[in-house]
Chains A and B, each alone.
Chain A
Amino acid sequence: KAGVTQTPRYLIKTRGQQVTLSCSPISGHRSVSWYQQTPGQGLQFLFEYFSETQRNKGNFPGRFSGRQFSNSRSEMNVSTLELGDSALYLCASSQTTAGVAQYFGPGTRLTVL
Chain B
Amino acid sequence: KQEVTQIPAALSVPEGENLVLNCSFTDSAIYNLQWFRQDPGKGLTSLLLIQSSQREQTSGRLNASLDKSSGRSTLYIAASQPGDSATYLCAVSGGSQGNLIFGKGTKLSVKP
Contact = CB atoms under 8 A, between A and B. Distances in A.
A45 B46 CA distance: 17
- For the residues of B in contact with A, the DSSP-based class is strand
B21 interface: no
Interface in B78-100: 89, 91, 93, 95-100
A24 interface: no
A56 B104 contact: no
Interface stretch (B12-20, B34-42, B66-74): B34-42
Contacts of B100: 33, 35, 43, 45, 92, 102
A89 B75 CA distance: 26
Given A42-B105, A98-B93, A103 B46 contact: yes
Contacts, number: 68
A25 interface: no
Interface residues of A, number: 28
- Point out which of A31, A35, A105, A109 has the most chain B C-beta atoms below 10 A from its C-beta: A35
Given A99-B31, A99-B93, A104 B46 contact: yes
Contact of B42 (A42, A58, A98, A106): A106
Interface of A: 4, 6, 31, 33, 35, 42-43, 45, 48, 55-56, 58, 88, 90, 92, 94, 97-107, 109
Interface of B: 31-32, 34, 36, 41-46, 49, 51, 89, 91, 93, 95-105
